[in-house]
């Protein structure tokens, strides 16, 4: 099952990348991080700013484990395949636990429902992310916890501290559940380690590396002006609202909570393992960034192992009869099948997925004109095609390196995918570049390639942004 799912995940993400639909934020950023590790130095990302130290953005040293694979094949595809392997691996402990506790049919059905769940589909369909490491760690930890192998549960949980700064809180809750299960000293030590790890990351490590001297994402706790009648900021009344009613309003948040539990026929709420999902849910629903509230992107990946572990635990704890077990499994399978057409796995059944736009070949032929190690600004969908051999940043983004040697822009990209510039701002910025010393090397099928022939008369500046950065 894990092998089949690995092939499925790889096929989806690689076809997206091959069709030039992967993004600068986030695949380009993570490839620059892994490339840094592979080159033997601390991670930097040109996309976050010239020489930006990524350990000041998110604390994810686990990414160094991808570097040996990247050294063998220096391509964004390597990251996508590694991610597919990590997520597929997470199926194994959950399916085996369900098989031991509930029988082979339950193991097969629960493993398949988990592997095809919408949270995993959304993550696989959107670039690469460090939280791919969290999926197998959580699955192994919670499967051990549900089987009363408490020391193993703690050992699998602690490496989450190296995946992302907020996951220390998840480790803390796992520790509390371990203590509740009877191993009080082990549980309390695990919980304390998780809490201290998160505090160290947020208050010491990230500020030490970040050029601003603080954690970059505190602004997500601010209340936007006009939200629920608030004037903006983080006043007590605003925080009270967002910490209560605001956790389920607007409707997008409530819909996500329902969809999160639906694959388990809402039985997961009967297991204490579901508490492990609380830290991730709270920061997402409390955030002022609307993309954190829904079912898109990678944000639900870490929740899927928790929800399905709670499902197995609830089935075991309630002493389910053969008949009721079959009904629960049938309902879970039905929910998984109904959700499939709305999420990226369904792309494999779409003939368009297996057709490559001729413009992709044109883009690659033009990119070959850009020499290795050159400084480049490029459109967001072109960036991941260049991160393996150039110093590339996002065209028109305020923090991008000014006056790059090369500029490559896709001027035909559809309005809904155009980021960060509007069409008018992009056109104006290109004209400004041409008048500032850039020569047009190629203008073909909507792709414009410019080269800086001398010192620019003035530095091109970014146009107006039409979308906010969603990474965080």
d(C-alpha 119, C-alpha 125), whole Å: 10
Q: Is the dihedral of CA 233, 239, 243, 248 positive or negative?
A: negative
Assign residue 403 a region: left if phi > 0, alpha if psi is -120 to 50, beta otherwise? left
Tell me the pTM. Answer: 0.93
Give the pLDDT of residue 230: 47
Please, what is the end-to-end C-alpha distance for the chain in angstroms?
Answer: 32
Give how far Cα 206 sits from Cα of 14, 132, 196, Å: 32, 21, 14
Give the pLDDT of residue 224: 61
Burial 109-130 (b: 16+ CB within 10 A, else e): bbbbbbbbbbbbbbbbbbbbbb
Assign residue 267 a region: left if phi > 0, alpha if psi is -120 to 50, beta otherwise? alpha
Contact 159, 109 (CB under 8 A): no
Give the pLDDT of residue 225: 47
The tens place of each residue's pLDDT in the chain, 472 residues long, gives 999 999 999 999 999 999 999 999 999 999 999 999 999 999 999 999 999 999 999 999 999 999 999 999 999 999 999 999 999 999 999 999 999 999 999 999 999 999 999 999 999 999 999 999 999 999 999 999 999 999 999 999 999 999 999 999 999 999 999 999 999 999 999 999 999 999 999 999 999 999 999 999 998 888 764 454 444 555 677 778 888 888 898 899 999 999 999 999 999 999 999 999 999 999 999 999 999 999 999 999 999 999 999 999 999 988 778 899 999 999 999 999 999 999 999 999 999 999 999 999 999 999 999 999 999 999 999 999 999 999 999 999 999 999 999 999 999 988 777 899 999 999 999 999 999 999 999 999 999 999 998 766 555 545 444 333 444 5
Q: In the numeric block, which tokens belong to residue 197?
A: 């790890």
d(C-alpha 25, C-alpha 77), whole Å: 15
Q: In the numeric block, which tokens belong to residue 376?
A: 């480049």
d(C-alpha 369, C-alpha 358), whole Å: 18
* Residue located via tokens 């059944």: 349
Pairing of β 52-53 and β 375-378? unpaired
Q: Prior bond to 250 cis, omega within 30? A: yes
Nearest to 119 by CA among 266, 262, 268: 262
Which H or E run contains 52? Answer: strand 52-53
- Residue 111: strand, helix, or coil: helix
Nearest to 90 by CA among 316, 303, 340, 332: 303
- Residue 73: strand, helix, or coil: coil
Pairing of β 375-378 and β 447-452? unpaired
C-alpha angle 431/363/427, rounded to 5°? 20
Q: In the numeric block, which tokens belong to residue 259?
A: 């969809």
- Residue 291: strand, helix, or coil: helix
Give how far Cα 167 sits from Cα of 80, 137, 174, 389, Å: 22, 11, 11, 32
Give the pLDDT of residue 8: 97
Give how far Cα 48 sits from Cα of 26, 176, 297, 383, Å: 10, 37, 19, 13
- Eight-class DSSP state of 442: E
C-alpha angle 248/251/252, rounded to 5°? 95
Which H or E run contains 53? Answer: strand 52-53
d(C-alpha 445, C-alpha 433), whole Å: 20
Q: In the numeric block, which tokens belong to residue 324?
A: 């009721």
Q: In the numeric block, which tokens belong to residue 361?
A: 């070949």
CA atoms within 13 A on the CB side of 350: 15
Contact 153, 159 (CB under 8 A): no
C-alpha angle 265/113/348, rounded to 5°? 130
Count Cβ atoms below 10 Å from residue 340 Cβ, excluding itself: 15
Give the pLDDT of residue 242: 80
Give the pLDDT of residue 18: 97
Count Cβ atoms below 10 Å from residue 12 Cβ, excluding itself: 21
Q: What is the dihedral of CA 170, 174, 180, 183, to 10 degrees?
A: -140
Give the pLDDT of residue 458: 53
Give the pLDDT of residue 226: 47
Nearest to 162 by CA among 297, 257, 63, 32: 63
């Amino acid at each position: 099952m894990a092998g089949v799912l690995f092939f499925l995940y790889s096929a989806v993400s690689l076809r997206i990348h091959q069709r030039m639909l992967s993004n600068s934020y986030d695949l380009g950023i993570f490839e620059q991080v892994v490339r840094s590790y592979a080159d033997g130095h601390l991670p930097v990302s040109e996309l976050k700013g010239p020489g930006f130290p990524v350990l000041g953005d998110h604390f994810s040293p686990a990414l160094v484990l991808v570097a040996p694979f990247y050294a063998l094949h220096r391509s964004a595809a390597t990251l996508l395949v590694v991610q597919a392997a990590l997520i597929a691996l997470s199926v194994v402990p959950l399916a085996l636990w369900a098989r031991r506790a509930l029988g082979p049919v339950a193991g097969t059905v629960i493993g398949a429902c988990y592997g095809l769940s919408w949270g995993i589909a959304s993550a696989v369909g959107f670039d690469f992310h460090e939280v791919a490491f969290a999926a197998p760690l959580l699955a192994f930890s919670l499967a051990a916890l549900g089987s009363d192998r408490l020391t193993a549960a703690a050992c699998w949980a602690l490496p989450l501290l190296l995946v992302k700064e907020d996951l220390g809180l998840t480790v803390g809750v796992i520790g509390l559940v371990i203590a509740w299960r009877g191993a009080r000293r082990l549980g309390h030590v695990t919980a304390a380690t998780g809490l201290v790890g998160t505090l160290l990351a947020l208050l010491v490590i990230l500020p030490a590396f970040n050029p601003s001297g603080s954690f970059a994402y505190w602004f997500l706790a601010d209340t936007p002006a006009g939200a629920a009648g608030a004037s903006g900021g983080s006043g007590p009344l605003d925080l009270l609202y967002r910490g209560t009613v605001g956790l389920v309003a607007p409707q997008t948040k409530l819909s996500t909570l329902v969809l999160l539990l639906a694959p388990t026929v809402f039985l997961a709420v009967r297991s204490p393992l579901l508490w492990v999902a609380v830290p991730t849910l709270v920061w997402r629903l409390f955030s002022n960034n609307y993309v954190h509230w829904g079912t898109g992107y990678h944000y639900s990946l870490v929740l899927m192992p928790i929800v399905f572990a709670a499902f197995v635990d609830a089935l075991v704890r309630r002493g389910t009869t053969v008949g009721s077990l079959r009904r629960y499994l049938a309902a879970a399978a039905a929910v998984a099948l109904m959700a499939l057409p709305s999420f990226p796995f369904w792309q494999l059944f779409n003939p368009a997925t297996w057709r490559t736009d001729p413009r992709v070949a044109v883009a690659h032929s033009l990119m070959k004109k850009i020499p290795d190690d050159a400084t480049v600004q490029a459109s967001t969908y072109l960036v991941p095609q260049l991160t393996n051999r150039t110093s590339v940043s996002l065209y028109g983004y305020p923090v991008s390196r000014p006056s790059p040697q090369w500029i490559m822009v896709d001027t035909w990209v559809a309005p809904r995918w155009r980021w960060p510039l509007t069409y008018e701002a992009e056109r104006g910025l290109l004209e400004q570049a041409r008048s500032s010393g850039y020569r047009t090397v190629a203008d073909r099928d909507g792709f414009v390639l410019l080269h800086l022939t001398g010192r620019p008369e003035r530095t091109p500046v970014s146009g107006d942004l039409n979308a906010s950065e969603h990474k965080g």
